[in-house]
Structure 1
């Protein structure tokens, strides 16, 4: 018999699968497991730390890039004093805690602004090497740590100067909320900066413990640190669980600084820094499974599966094997006993045909005078029996897949998850605001340094360098007082001919088009009425919103029109109606929306200063509670999984049975009846080496025997006619 064919393998494998599934059901749905902290809370802490790491990495890289580009633009222009360099730089950027300019050869301090920059840590003899101008971390006397960024100022005929800027390592724009703390950790586990709720007893010690664990985990390779196929954050990240006091337990998250794309590296990622967070959550016992339900479901599967297997054995397998044995007996010449005819379906038709063939072989019925027998047993065939078995298994699988263990609108959503949705949405909102402000500041720096240039070639060179260093822009161009484009770089601008420069720092146009046009304008110094204009790439804004664990995010304007999003949207479409009351509040908040679908929603207006303040935008986020890894939905997912496994097992095994047994058996029944009716010309070939194929081979041997008998009778008639 064939190894994968025949009647036995599909039924046997179905039995094993159903028995295994019953065990899985009992263990998965019946094993009581009390959950104190839902996994959704821990995952949220991981994402919170990732948000902080993304914000810190972007801030540090932006600081270094801006300082280098500013020094280059100054160096390409006319020589200016060190005080003028710092004054112009400080008027455009307010990101550095301290700046200074020194003469490299003598070490003389030429100018300084802000806090004192630690100049003694800079070795002026090694600035020309490959890593001479690389940013470096410096520990101050007060214990704080600063990042020093260096850039050269070079003019012909003047001694080389060094522009230095120091930045603190506080994570920018992260909304901590009540009870949360955040810290920046180096590769040794030392906390370089911290912020948030650290006054409580043991909070500092717990943060140090988390920092040590985070630094150790950050040394792993990001690929090996993740579960296969998990994707997500490009660096090393995870959740941490600390000690408990009463019903409060400290949990946290960590994330190493990583580039936006896996495998890439930036200045910030080379510093070996990580971000670690901690927050206290209330432990609440949640039962993940109900033992009685799991045991009842497993018992029901054993009963229903046993009935289905018994039906297949009694009405399909045993009759087919009996036909196989009966057909073999006839081919051996044992014609004394009548054929045992099964009761149902195609097996009964084949059995009746074999009995007629036995009588013809034993010449009890003369084939020349025998009329075709009436065919019966078609109403309940093997296909119907298999369908009955499928219906039995569906009565167990379908309710689990579609109906049972479904949380209602009163499902408990952990308060920390709602708080994190609010805080992370506010962080994303601040990140968008800072990105727009940085973009406008870059244009202001370009406008300040390009003002003295009148050549279109010189202006274009500066614009091309700007758009190459800052992919946030789709196009950058210089507008004259009459609205004429004097120089441009990047894509063709969305600028109407003759349209004068706007007096708004940031504005949105493109209404009615395929995408919004976010335009930043900076007056060109030295040329009244002219300006440098940059059009933001909307994909850059969309990319700022793509953070896991927040669901759908949209940037909406004061009229509730969508400007950007992390998934498919239409430009200037109205935001979903269920978010309108939330956005109208004009405050950072989150809530659980209960109805046909339970959702966690949050809104965060763009608060703070800068050019983006005039836009009056908000970031809204929402996600179905069913996406959260909390006990109620975990139980639902497990129940659906068990039901799907049952459907898969039934479809696979019964489909296999239908292909290798039921369809060939129906064809065999027609062939057997045709042979019994007198068709001696059609040669019968077995398609498979199984029970059905064996019966076909036996019928072919019977056909040959009947042909021999027919030739013998014809020969006898011919001889009798001559005599």
Structure 2
């Protein structure tokens, strides 16, 4: 018999797969040590660090781009007074801690605003080296670190001036929650800035102060480890094609203290989108570390659900052996017996009667073989007995397959649908709810800053517009639109409401009756229209309007591990979303609008506890809302960022066991389909056709040639049946020839 044909291979494969699935079930559903910290909490810290790194990267790149763009615009003119340059820069952008203009030839400070900028770090390499005018990190006398950004200005005449702006490297100023902290780390592990510890310095008890000291030491140690990890090449630490965060990110576990474990996520600064091109911030070698102490888990007893896993594995072995026994008794043994009997008849052994199986196609074939044995010259039973036996054993080989499938389904269905069901009773770690809230707050801060930046860009461009020269104005708008990817259109609206100059898409109406400089319209359209405006100096009633792309806002909301994120107005109507949405549509859950209203009411009244769990029909949803706060024109819009996700997406042990149980049930179904389908296609269907051919042969059909389709047991019986047909045909020809010979002899005499 061939190795891959016949009845033996699928039954053997069924045995192997049943044992393998039982072992896998015992492994993934049986007793296992609980992790010290849930994987979901660690993943959340990694995502938190990624969000912080993206926000810091965007902030640094925007400041560098704004300074360079301002210098380019000023150089296009006839030169401006240094004092006026810094004054206009401060009015358009409130983002630098200090600005200075100095003469490059003499080194004299021509103008200064804000924090005093030290100049000892300026040398020839900074100005003319291979990395000339590259942003530099400088430590002040106070110990704080500032990022120095530079741009060359063309002064009056042939003189050149250097514009220097300094800003801090602090992480976004958001509500980090109790004992959560973030840090900006340089190459080598030096901590440049921290946030979060200052919120805990007002602790009164000695135990709390000791824990704060412990966490500060942990932050220093984990920052060193994070800096070492981020020295790797991002392409080497990710699997090819895996996507995800473009930089290096991961998680770290620190030491324990009073039942808590310091968990940290880290992420290097990297461009958030390949379309962003070169990123100055990504080349600074900075890393953001987010740390949170969580309660350490102690699994002292074995969960009953883990015992269910061992019982399920044992039950699968028993049912699998029973299923194999059914197939062996009802399919394999009768088929092998037919193979031996047919080969015996084909060889001419007609003395012993054929052993006829008790039922199914094998009984029909055995009965037909017995009748052909009688036709070949052996002693046979009467035909009526054969017909009765054929009618008696009309049942087929599909019955054993159905019985085997039922036996295995008795295991697959309960395991896949009933075992380890959570039914909304899983305890969600408080850290997950806090992380959802804090990450939502971080996204809200990023969107608010982006809108403030958009309005500041429009204000800066408006100072360069000459309404009396529409051609030059339109060229300026086209250049600005090409540089600012956040806009879909820029246009100048005159006092009468008509568009004076434009670039980009079709403009929308802008009314001077409204006093707000950031507006939303477009109800009834496919997507909202977000406009930001700035009055053009020296031209009363003339406004430069920029329409912010909704796709740009959507891109700010897409963060892994945060679920679905939306920006809603004060009426809880959608303005932007991480997934598809309809303009100004409502939120899908009734509890979410209440969460938005509660967050708006609590703004300015202390800490906003705007995260909650929603339990509905066994499903658990973690939701959070973060209203725009923190200053700038966007904080007055009344907008809120809302996020929610199903808790079953978290890497929590209970949900993982439920998923593994479902997977085990699906693997059992696949086992049934593969093995029993194999037997049906290779054995049962050919056996049914063979039974019909054998009965036709026994009934006297000697013309039909029988040829095997497969080289297996069924094929061997078909070959024997063909040999028997040939023998019967030869016997009939001999019988027809014998009576004719005496008649010829009589006629001859």
Equivalent in 621, 626, 645 of residue 623 of structure 1: 645
Equivalent in 279, 299, 313 of residue 328 of structure 2: 313
Partner of 2:205: none
* Superposed displacement of residue 533, structure 1: 1.0
* Superposed displacement of residue 42, structure 1: 0.9
Partner of 2:280: 267
Q: Aligned partners of 2:696, 2:161: CA distance in 1, in Å?
A: 104
* Superposed displacement of residue 205, structure 1: 1.5
Aligned residues: CA RMSD: 2.3
Q: Does the Cα contact within 8 Å between 2:170 and 2:194 map onto a contact in 1?
A: yes
* Superposed displacement of residue 126, structure 1: 5.6
Q: Residues 615 and 342 from structure 1, CA distance in 2 versus in 1: closer, same or farther, beyond 3 angstroms?
A: same
Q: Aligned partners of 2:4, 2:476: CA distance in 1, in Å?
A: 72
Equivalent in 289, 294, 313 of residue 309 of structure 2: 294
**Deviations, residues 2-58 of structure 1 (Å, cap 9, x unaligned):** 332211111101101111221222222222323332111111111111111010000
**Deviations, residues 673-714 of structure 1 (Å, cap 9, x unaligned):** 222222212222211111111111111111111111122122
* Superposed displacement of residue 170, structure 1: 0.5
- Verify: 1:204 aligned to 2:225, yes or no: no
Q: Aligned partners of 1:549, 1:256: CA distance in 2, in Å?
A: 18
- Verify: 1:612 aligned to 2:625, yes or no: no
Q: Secondary structure at 1:162's aligned position in 2?
A: strand
Q: Does the Cα contact within 8 Å between 1:32 and 1:290 map onto a contact in 2?
A: no
Q: Aligned partners of 1:213, 1:372: CA distance in 2, in Å?
A: 85
Partner of 1:594: 615
Q: Residues 379 and 62 from structure 1, CA distance in 2 versus in 1: closer, same or farther, beyond 3 angstroms?
A: farther
Q: Residues 7 and 113 from structure 1, CA distance in 2 versus in 1: closer, same or farther, beyond 3 angstroms?
A: same
Of 284-293 and 518-527, deviating more is 284-293
Q: Residues 358 and 647 from structure 1, CA distance in 2 versus in 1: closer, same or farther, beyond 3 angstroms?
A: same
* Superposed displacement of residue 474, structure 1: 1.2
How many residues align? The count is 720
Q: Aligned partners of 1:390, 1:551: CA distance in 2, in Å?
A: 40
Partner of 2:165: 165
* Superposed displacement of residue 363, structure 1: 5.7
* Superposed displacement of residue 99, structure 1: 0.7
* Superposed displacement of residue 298, structure 1: 1.3
Partner of 1:79: 79
- Verify: 1:635 aligned to 2:657, yes or no: yes
Q: Secondary structure at 1:661's aligned position in 2?
A: helix
Q: Aligned partners of 1:342, 1:558: CA distance in 2, in Å?
A: 80
Q: Does the Cα contact within 8 Å between 1:55 and 1:173 map onto a contact in 2?
A: no
**Deviations, residues 297-351 of structure 1 (Å, cap 9, x unaligned):** 1111111111001001111111111111111111111111111111222111111
Partner of 1:90: 90
Of 267-276 and 712-721, deviating more is 712-721
- Verify: 1:580 aligned to 2:593, yes or no: yes
Q: Please show how residues 460-471 of structure 1 align to structure 2 within 5 Å.
A: 460-471=474-485
Q: Does the Cα contact within 8 Å between 1:191 and 1:208 map onto a contact in 2?
A: yes
Equivalent in 408, 413, 425 of residue 393 of structure 1: 408
Partner of 1:242: 254
Q: Does the Cα contact within 8 Å between 1:239 and 1:254 map onto a contact in 2?
A: yes
Partner of 2:70: 70
Equivalent in 254, 258, 262 of residue 266 of structure 2: 254
Partner of 2:504: 490
Q: Aligned partners of 2:84, 2:538: CA distance in 1, in Å?
A: 16
Q: Secondary structure at 2:463's aligned position in 1?
A: helix
Partner of 1:30: 30
Q: Does the Cα contact within 8 Å between 2:342 and 2:717 map onto a contact in 1?
A: yes
Q: Aligned partners of 1:265, 1:358: CA distance in 2, in Å?
A: 88
Q: Aligned partners of 1:489, 1:5: CA distance in 2, in Å?
A: 73
Q: Aligned partners of 2:516, 2:280: CA distance in 1, in Å?
A: 34
Of 655-664 and 212-221, deviating more is 655-664
- Verify: 1:709 aligned to 2:720, yes or no: no
* Superposed displacement of residue 524, structure 1: 1.1
Partner of 1:113: 113
Q: Aligned partners of 1:246, 1:227: CA distance in 2, in Å?
A: 38
Q: Secondary structure at 1:202's aligned position in 2?
A: helix
Equivalent in 475, 478, 485 of residue 489 of structure 2: 475
Q: Does the Cα contact within 8 Å between 1:373 and 1:677 map onto a contact in 2?
A: no
Q: Does the Cα contact within 8 Å between 1:253 and 1:276 map onto a contact in 2?
A: yes
Partner of 2:357: 342
Of 181-190 and 582-591, deviating more is 582-591
**Deviations, residues 351-391 of structure 1 (Å, cap 9, x unaligned):** 11111122212265799999977733565321121111111
**Deviations, residues 572-619 of structure 1 (Å, cap 9, x unaligned):** 111122312212212441011123111111111111222212321111
* Superposed displacement of residue 442, structure 1: 0.5
- Verify: 1:563 aligned to 2:584, yes or no: no
Q: TM-score, normalised by structure 1?
A: 0.95
Of 581-590 and 59-68, deviating more is 581-590
Q: Does the Cα contact within 8 Å between 2:350 and 2:378 map onto a contact in 1?
A: no
Q: Aligned partners of 1:33, 1:371: CA distance in 2, in Å?
A: 65
**Deviations, residues 391-418 of structure 1 (Å, cap 9, x unaligned):** 1111101111112211133321101111
Q: Aligned partners of 1:380, 1:57: CA distance in 2, in Å?
A: 74
Q: Does the Cα contact within 8 Å between 1:482 and 1:500 map onto a contact in 2?
A: no
Q: Residues 369 and 682 from structure 1, CA distance in 2 versus in 1: closer, same or farther, beyond 3 angstroms?
A: farther
Segments of 5+ residues of structure 1 without an aligned counterpart are: none
Q: Aligned partners of 2:183, 2:351: CA distance in 1, in Å?
A: 94
Segments of 5+ residues of structure 2 without an aligned counterpart are: 202-211, 603-607
Q: Aligned partners of 2:125, 2:255: CA distance in 1, in Å?
A: 50
Q: Aligned partners of 1:19, 1:90: CA distance in 2, in Å?
A: 73
Partner of 1:447: 462
Q: Please show how residues 491-506 of structure 1 align to structure 2 within 5 Å.
A: 491-493=505-507, 495-496=508-509, 503-506=515-518
Partner of 1:664: 686
Q: Residues 583 and 379 from structure 1, CA distance in 2 versus in 1: closer, same or farther, beyond 3 angstroms?
A: farther
Equivalent in 270, 279, 297 of residue 284 of structure 1: 297
Partner of 1:426: 441
Of 193-202 and 258-267, deviating more is 258-267
Q: Does the Cα contact within 8 Å between 1:289 and 1:635 map onto a contact in 2?
A: no
Q: Secondary structure at 1:3's aligned position in 2?
A: coil
* Superposed displacement of residue 445, structure 1: 0.4
* Superposed displacement of residue 173, structure 1: 4.0
Q: Aligned partners of 2:278, 2:76: CA distance in 1, in Å?
A: 28
Q: Does the Cα contact within 8 Å between 1:482 and 1:499 map onto a contact in 2?
A: no
- Verify: 1:652 aligned to 2:674, yes or no: yes
Q: Please show how residues 513-524 of structure 1 align to structure 2 within 5 Å.
A: 513-524=525-536
